[in-house]
Structure formats: structure tokens, C-alpha cells
Structure 1
Amino acid sequence: MRKLKFHEHKLLKKVNFLEWKKEQSFRELQVMRRYHITDRDDYKKYNKLCGVITKLVHILKQLDPTDAFRIQMTDELLEKLYNMGVIASKKSLALCEKLSVSAFCRWCCKLIYE
């Protein structure tokens, strides 16, 4: 790589390519501070996981309520999330639909501090 010219170097001093201005929202920082998450990537993973679960719940809700596959997948999903401690009870899919990143952060903190 060639050496940067003076004006190029001066322009690049003002730009941080690792962190963008709009990358971290207030809610994200608040949750990271509350649950002592030091790595932003952990928050992003939890957020992605919440998105996948809510998508799955949306797909399951579109299926027929008497469908055997829907009943089985719903039970497995609720059982797994309840055993992890992410949801409080395994009654309905409505709990999974409102799943937040904070629930996964609480679960992670519980694992670390126990």
C-alpha cells in the first residue's frame, strides 16, 4: 500500500471506520450498561437471536392451530426458552412474540454469576 498524501491523511484522521455515528442507539447502550455487556457483538448476537425467534413465532402463528407440526414446534420452542430462563412460563406463543434482548442478557448474566 502506498503512503498517504498529506491531505488524505488529514481527512482520514477525522473518520473512524470502526464505529459509525448511528451504529449505537440509546436503547442499545442502556441495555449494555445495565447488564455489563462489554462487547457490542454480544448484543448484536442476542438481537439477531430475538429476531429469528420472533420470525419463527410469526410463521408458527400463520399455521393452522390444530396442525400437529405447529403444536410440536410450539411446545419445543416454549420448552427450550423456558428451560433457558428466557421466558417466565411456557403457556403461549405471545410470550415469545414479545421477546427482548434484555431477556437474553439476563439469562447470560445469570449464567456468569451463578
Structure 2
Amino acid sequence: MQSVLLFDFFHPFAFLSLCFATMVRAFKHHEAKLLKKVDFLQWKSENNLREVKVLRKYHIQRREDYTKYNKLCGIIRSLASKISLLDDRDPHKAHTSSALLDKLYRMGLIVTAKGFHQCEAVTASAFCRRRLPVVMVRLKMAENVREAVQLVEQGHVRVGPDAVNDPAFLVTRPMEDFVTWVDTSKIRRHVLKYNDKLDDFDLL
């Protein structure tokens, strides 16, 4: 009987059923009044509120993307913590610290390649800021992230020689200069015409 109760406890619906089934009295007046406006099904933690705010700000359509960013942040912090525990006289510590900082800087997750403390400060928002639509807004290729997402999904954007239609594409710092319109994009032709750079070849 005890094992059954333990199993039921870890099952959320079974646990709730057990709680209601074992109630021996109704709520008193003051208890009912206090709980009248409490909706337990709509309860959200502070972390969930922060997550929703980030998802909206960067127009992230897949929640699993944000979850992956958080996991990557955990891996980075864990790696940084292990490196910091190495003896300062160990040459491997200086090498790995420099390599990690350089990697994070090239990915655009930290503002400078100096200062190992930055590794422990990397957040999911840092990954969000490297998403292609967000970079496009910073490059003034779109007025807002929502518009940029639509342009990417419609196939108007390329990074280097390759067209990209996934808004979750992360743009590294070296590749940021190669974010542009695909050659056949109407947006590209409009921009060239606006800047008076449209030639006969572009009209073909």
C-alpha cells in the first residue's frame, strides 16, 4: 500500500486526486475568501515569466530553441568552473582559458576576449542576440525582429554564399559582415534602386 501511495504522489494528477479525496472538511469562510481569486492552473514562476519575455522580445517561435540556449549556458559555466579550479601554474589552464574566451568572442556571446569572468556571465539572451533576424535589425536590414523573421522565412536573406530561411540560424562575429540579400530578392533590388546602384545586369 505504501509503494502505491509513493507512486501516486509522483504522478501529478493522481496526487491531486488523492488530496481532494482525503479532504475531511470544506474550506472555512476566510479560507475560501483567500483562495477565491487564486488560479493554481495559471500559476507561473519568475523563471517562466522571464522566459516568456525573452521569447517575445526576440520573436522566438520554438521554445526548444530557448531551452537549448540555457543548456549551452550551463555547459559553458560548468567548463569555465572546471578551468578556474586548475592550478594557476598549469600551462594548460592559460591555454584552455584563452581558447574558450576566443571561441565565445568569435560567436559574439561576449563583448571582449579578455576577462575570464565573462564565461560565467553568458546567458540565453546572448545566444538570442546572435540569431539572424536580430542581427538583421542591428544591421538595419529590417525595422524590427518580427519583420526580419518574415524576410528570412521567405528566403530573402543569405549568409555568405548560402541562402538561410531558418530564423534560429546563429550568426558568428566573422560572418556578420556577410549577411545580405539573395541576388534574386525583390528587397535587394529595391535597396539598390533606392541607393541608385541598380544597373542593367540587375534588371535581367
* Interval containing the TM-score (normalised by the shorter chain): 0.7 to 0.9
Deviations 1:18-50 (A, max 9, x none): xxx769701111111111111001000000000
Say which of 95, 100, 114 aligns to 1:72: 95
1:90 counterpart SS class: coil
Number of aligned residues: 94
Say which of 54, 61, 86 aligns to 1:63: 86
Whole-Å Cα distance in 2 between the matches of residues 38 and 66 of structure 1? Answer: 47
1:25 counterpart SS class: helix
Say which of 119, 124, 127 aligns to 1:96: 119
Q: Percent identity?
A: 42
Whole-Å Cα distance in 2 between the matches of residues 65 and 31 of structure 1? Answer: 38
Shift of 1:84: 1.0
2:70 counterpart SS class: helix
Gaps of 5+ in 1: 1-20
> Counterpart of 2:110 in structure 1: which amino acid?
I
> Counterpart of 2:62 in structure 1: which amino acid?
D
Whole-Å Cα distance in 1 between the matches of residues 52 and 119 of structure 2? Answer: 23
TM-score by length of 2: 0.43
Deviations 1:50-91 (A, max 9, x none): 000000111111111221111111111100110111100011
Gaps of 5+ in 2: 1-42, 136-170, 180-204
Q: Let me know the Cα RMSD of the aligned residues.
A: 2.1
Q: Which runs of 4+ in 1 moved over 2 A?
A: 21-24
